[in-house]
Amino acid sequence: MSSDLLAYGSSDGTLTVCTVSVPPSVVKQLSGHSKGVTELNEDSSRLTMEHMMMKSA
């Protein structure tokens, strides 16, 4: 995963992936959780962020 990415969850159930490079920008916003996203788990045995972004496109 690129080191210039930041992922954060929201109380509306979305997960947002942003670049933190200059200028910063939203790369992808994923939705579908029925409750707020309060925790993210980075685990190499799970889908990578790049794979999740491709699947949701």
**Tokens representing residue 45 in the block:** 């045995």
Could you give the CA distance from residue 11 to residue 43 in angstroms, rounded to a whole number? 22
2-11 pLDDT per residue, tens? 578 888 899 9
Distance from C-alpha of 25 to C-alpha of 27, rounded to nearest angstrom = 6
Predicted confidence at residue 2, as pLDDT, reads 54
Q: 39 vs 49, which has greater pLDDT?
A: 39
d(CA 23, CA 33): 29
* DSSP of 8-40: EE-TTS-EEEEE-SSSPEEEEEE---SS-----
Interval 16-36: pLDDT, tens: 988 888 898 998 898 988 889
Q: What is the pTM of this model?
A: 0.64
